[in-house]
């Protein structure tokens, strides 16, 4: 009930698109009934969580924060959300996000931007971005509207909003969480993961979310490890790699300082710190902004006005006019930009020059990490090049918005598990995040290093 009251009271953050308090209450009652019978309460028994509105929820509007899907009520449940309900969690509501998960500030949502609960100490009263695309999730957890929320991460959308709002979030190895029933952005990159107050809560929730799913052809057919039981902040015998290419010219000195703090904390926990090289880092961002839009342009072709959501059928219009009217009306400007970039890089004359090159770069980035693992167990880097920026600061310049993803996209392209954990406040009193990148399937190593920093 307290959480329900919170959600209503904090509506000015605009974190929720739809509130479903009755579902959270149902889950709590189910847990009470189980407790009375002495039954197992489940990994998430009775915990009210927020669900990013990118996960299809049976009977509850699922919009991807777009006009295109406004009013779309799925008749099926995504695998990840179903697993959470099976583990006893209850849904407080559907959380706002960047439209079709495209963005880094939650300002591309059709339902309006989300506001971070954080304020600069003495920088006026500017509303700050909660990060994106999982900005409703980060804002809701940071404001304590819910103890945890789901996120999805294609090129940083769990880690960057977590860093901006002082919470923890992990993107597991590609394939750990089923993509079935998650509105697709870039299928070879999309991964679901938990966003919560601390590393332990992330471990618990990830256990509930992960697992093989025959309905997702890229799902990992591996048992889900007991990450919570395996938590151990002792870093003795572990090597932490510090990638020198992440130390970029003109970097915010406060970000560098928090990185140094993280190095010191891991050393205190017993780790050995080694300098490593990931030579192709600077090509990751351009490769990502070719591959992700290419896949998006293909995935979003399904919104044709026939099958899902919106249909604009002008008087006397034919099929082509209906497609055009629906897509012109249903997609926001950032989504259209991605579709056009994607269509361009996949078109006959440019496929080799752009898409193929980007795929080669992707392989080189993955190889960089492969080589690094001969020297270290996990990698430590900043999550983002800056603390949270003010809403409106970057909306007129898409490139500066994309640059915010520079440290996040390499792990996405390589499919590796990566986490952001809070690493203190900057001089403006805003949270900074540190990122831990691990070997494929080694979420445990990532969580443990996160725990050592926390």
Q: Which residues bind ligand GLN (CB under 6 A)?
A: 101-104, 133, 153-157, 185, 292, 405
CA distance 64 to 182: 9
Nearer to ligand GLN, 45 or 172 (CB): 172
Residue 419, helix vs strand vs coil: strand
Q: Which helix (H) or strand (E) holds 130?
A: none
Burial environment of residue 376 by CB neighbours within 10 A (0 to 12, 13 to 18, 19 or more):
buried
Q: Helix 357-372 to helix 284-299 angle, to the nearest 10 degrees?
A: 120
Give min distance, CB of 189 to ligand GLN, in A.
7
- Which of these is catalytic: 78, 81, 116, 133? 133
Measured distance between the N- and C-terminal CA atoms of the chain, rounded to whole angstroms: 29
Nearer to ligand GLN, 79 or 154 (CB): 154
Give min distance, CB of 395 to ligand GLN, in A.
13
By the 8 A CB rule, do 386 and 404 touch?
Answer: yes
Instruction: Name 406's Cβ contacts closer than 8 Å, sequence gap at least 6.
Output: 248, 284, 285, 385
- C-alpha dihedral sign at 329, 333, 339, 341: positive
Nearer to ligand GLN, 4 or 178 (CB): 178
Burial environment of residue 390 by CB neighbours within 10 A (0 to 12, 13 to 18, 19 or more):
middle
Give min distance, CB of 413 to ligand GLN, in A.
12
- C-alpha dihedral sign at 161, 164, 166, 172: positive
- Which of these is catalytic: 23, 43, 52, 394? 52
Give min distance, CB of 335 to ligand GLN, in A.
10
Give min distance, CB of 399 to ligand GLN, in A.
12
Q: Which helix (H) or strand (E) holds 52?
A: strand 48-52
Neighbour count for residue 180 (Cβ, 10 Å): 18
Sheet with 191-196, side-by-side order of all strands: 16-19, 90-95, 48-52, 148-153, 191-196, 168-171, 418-425, 431-438, 378-382, 239-243, 272-276
Burial environment of residue 333 by CB neighbours within 10 A (0 to 12, 13 to 18, 19 or more):
exposed
Neighbour count for residue 273 (Cβ, 10 Å): 18
Nearer to ligand GLN, 93 or 132 (CB): 132
Nearer to ligand GLN, 118 or 185 (CB): 185
Give min distance, CB of 235 to ligand GLN, in A.
28
- Which of these is catalytic: 105, 139, 157, 219? 157
Nearer to ligand GLN, 16 or 185 (CB): 185
Give min distance, CB of 257 to ligand GLN, in A.
25
Give min distance, CB of 333 to ligand GLN, in A.
13
Find, among 155, 119, 132, 144, the residue nearest to 48 by Cα: 144
By the 8 A CB rule, do 232 and 269 touch?
Answer: no
Nearer to ligand GLN, 169 or 241 (CB): 169
Nearer to ligand GLN, 63 or 444 (CB): 63
User: Which tokens go with 116?
Assistant: 């971070």
Position with the least CB separation from ligand GLN: 157
Residue 157 bears catalytic tag: yes
Q: Helix 21-36 to helix 2-9 angle, to the nearest 10 degrees?
A: 170
Burial environment of residue 2 by CB neighbours within 10 A (0 to 12, 13 to 18, 19 or more):
exposed
User: Which tokens go with 272?
Assistant: 């050995």
Nearer to ligand GLN, 90 or 382 (CB): 382
Give min distance, CB of 5 to ligand GLN, in A.
31
Find, among 379, 348, 301, 395, the residue nearest to 109 by Cα: 395
Catalytic residues: 52, 133, 157
């Amino acid at each position: 009930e307290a959480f329900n009251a919170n959600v209503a009271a904090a509506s000015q953050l605009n974190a929720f698109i739809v509130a479903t308090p009755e579902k959270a209450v149902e889950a709590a009652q189910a847990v009470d009934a189980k407790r009375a019978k002495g039954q197992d309460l489940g990994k998430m028994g009775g915990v009210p969580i927020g669900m990013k509105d990118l996960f299809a929820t049976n009977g509850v509007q699922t919009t991807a924060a777009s006009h295109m899907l406004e009013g779309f009520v799925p008749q099926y449940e995504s695998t990840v959300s179903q697993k959470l309900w099976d583990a006893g969690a209850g849904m407080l509501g559907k959380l706002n996000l960047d439209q079709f998960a495209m963005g880094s500030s939650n300002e591309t949502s059709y339902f309006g931007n989300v506001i971070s609960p954080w304020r600069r100490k003495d920088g006026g009263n500017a509303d700050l971005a909660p990060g994106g695309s999982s900005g409703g999730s980060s804002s809701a957890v940071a404001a304590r509207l819910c103890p945890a929320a789901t996120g999805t991460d294609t090129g940083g959308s769990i880690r960057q909003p977590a860093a901006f709002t002082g919470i923890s979030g992990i993107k597991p190895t590609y394939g750990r969480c089923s993509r079935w029933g998650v509105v697709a952005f870039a299928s070879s990159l999309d991964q679901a993961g938990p966003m919560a107050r601390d590393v332990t809560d992330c471990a618990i929730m990830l256990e509930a979310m992960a697992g093989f799913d025959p309905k997702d052809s890229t799902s990992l057919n591996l048992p889900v490890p007991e990450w919570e039981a395996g938590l151990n902040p002792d870093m003795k015998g572990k090597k932490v790699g510090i990638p020198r290419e992440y130390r970029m010219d003109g970097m915010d000195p406060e970000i560098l300082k928090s990185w140094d703090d993280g190095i010191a904390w891991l050393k205190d926990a017993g780790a050995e710190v080694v300098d490593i090289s990931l030579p192709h880092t600077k090509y990751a961002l351009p490769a990502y902004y070719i591959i992700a839009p290419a896949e998006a342009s293909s995935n979003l072709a399904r919104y044709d006005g026939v099958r899902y959501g919106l249909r604009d059928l002008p008087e006397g219009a034919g099929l082509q006019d209906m497609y055009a009217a629906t897509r012109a009306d249903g997609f926001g400007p950032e989504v259209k930009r991605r579709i056009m970039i994607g269509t361009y890089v996949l078109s006959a004359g440019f496929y080799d020059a752009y898409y193929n090159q980007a795929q080669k770069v992707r392989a080189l980035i993955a190889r960089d990490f492969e080589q690094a693992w001969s020297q270290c167990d996990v990698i430590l880097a900043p999550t983002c090049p800056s603390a949270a920026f003010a809403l409106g600061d970057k909306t007129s310049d898409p490139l500066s918005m994309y640059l915010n993803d520079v440290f996040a996209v390499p792990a996405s392209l390589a499919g590796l598990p990566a986490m952001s954990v809070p690493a203190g406040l900057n001089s403006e009193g805003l949270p900074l995040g540190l990122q831990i990148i691990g070997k494929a399937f080694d979420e445990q190593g990532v969580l443990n290093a996160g725990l050592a920093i926390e």
